[in-house]
Amino acid sequence: MAVVETRDLTKVFKEGQLGAVNNVNLETREGEFLVFLGPSGSGKTTLLRMIAGLETPTSGEILIGGQVVNDLSPRERRIAMVFQSYALYPHLSVYKNIAFPLKAQNVKKELHKAKVEWAASLLGIGALLDRKPRELSGGERQRVALARAIVREPAVFLLDEPLSNLDAKLRASAREELERFHRRVGTTTIYVTHDQVEAMAMGDRVMVLNKGVVRQLGTPTDVYDNPADTFVATFLGSPPMNLAEIGDVIVGFRPEHFRPAFTVTGDAAPFRLKVENIEYLGSEWIVSGTLAGGKLDGKKVFSRLSSAQNLQLAGMYDFAVPQRELKFFDRSTEKRVEPRSVSWQ
Ligand code: ATP
């Protein structure tokens, strides 16, 4: 039985407007870390808030543990939510912050101490219980928010961009900590982010949303290597997949699949590139420019190369992309289609 299930879940905020969430069908797997990924306004938060019971669906059903919960309050849903802001109570100690949901749920007072200490030790904040939130670092505050979420042993965690307030360095370590925490606790988790790196790194599965519609649900490898459509293809990857229209298909090739032509054997798409910009990123180079000759003459593309030391601005170089790395999309539906052979000349 899925921990969380949605059936044709829809939210229209104003009649006559497009839905913020449209007919979403979803089944989580026991213990998985599922990420909702999409650009700003794609409906991720609205979907999460409906599951949490903070937003009323326009139509459709939400099930938690096999039970329809549409009419249950957030408190009755066995969920715990951690927000971007953490929403800790500033005047309460860490201990009291963590114990707060127990109090709200009328858990017997004599059980509080053991539960708070268990949650705090899981997150390595046992030594901070007497402090106030203002005396904590951003990462420590996040841990307190998580401890407060797990203390009542929910069936599911709902996390809405919990790392977005942290600086880049802290974000990376907080991300790792969250992954470790999830492995240890094993609670089914839904995590909202617009950051593709976070989604790829953390998700067992990633659900890509755009305009309230699910574009693809799959493992990180699935969505990256086999994008269902051109939206997913270009939303994931930095720089994004190059797309070029050839006849009735759109051909896609990722920047990292460009190779110097002389190194490629077997079937490959040939690309003559006029180099217009070179960025050195330490471990790799991003080289962009326009294609010259053939059907894609004048097309702007990005490549990612392990070395670009021999390339010069305005120089012309022959590259190739192995045939097996090309993706094909239908020009009108923009959905992925079977590979086919195309003529580049
Ligand atoms: P972000 O990453 O910016 O938080 P999101 O993917 O979480 O975006 P939502 O916040 O779910 O997107 O918003 C989806 C759509 O619904 C947007 O077009 C938004 O403007 C609209 N929307 C959200 N909340 C409301 C509301 N209370 N009233 C009217 N429209 C809303």
SS3 of the chain: helix, strand, coil, percent, to 5 = 30, 30, 40
pTM score: 0.91
Kindly report the protein residue whose alpha carbon is nearest to atom 18 of ligand 1: 41
Q: Which atom of ligand 1 is nearest to the CA of 48?
A: 11
pLDDT for 296: 92
Cα–Cα distance between 244 and 301 in angstroms, integer? 9
- 125, 145 in Cβ contact below 8 A? no
pLDDT at 103 over 90: no
CB 254 within 8 A of CB 241: yes
Q: Nearest to residue 211, comparing CAs of 47, 12, 22? A: 22
What is the pLDDT, as a whole number, of residue 288? 97
Question: If you average pLDDT over every residue of the chain, what do you get?
Answer: 92
Hey, whose CA ends up nearest to atom 22 of ligand 1? Answer: 20
What class has domain 4-225?
A: alpha beta
Host H or E run for residue 322? strand 316-322
Task: Judge if the upstream peptide bond of residue 220 is cis by omega within 30 degrees of 0.
Answer: no
Output the CA 211–ligand 1 centroid distance in Å: 10
- Which atom of ligand 1 is the closest one to the Cα of 209? 6
Give pLDDT tens digits for 190-215: 999 999 999 999 999 999 999 999 99
What topology is assigned to 238-337 in CATH? Answer: OB fold (Dihydrolipoamide Acetyltransferase, E2P) (2.40.50)
Name the residue ranges covered by the structural domains of the chain.
4-225, 238-337
Q: Is the CB of 17 under 6 A from ligand 1?
A: no
Close Cβ partners of 259 (under 8 Å, ≥ 6 residues apart): 319, 320, 321, 322
Ligand 1: nearest atom to the Cα of 43:
11
Ligand 1 close to Cβ of residue 97 (< 6 A): no
Other beta carbons within 10 Å of 296: 20
pLDDT on residue 27? 96
34-44 pLDDT per residue, tens? 999 999 999 99
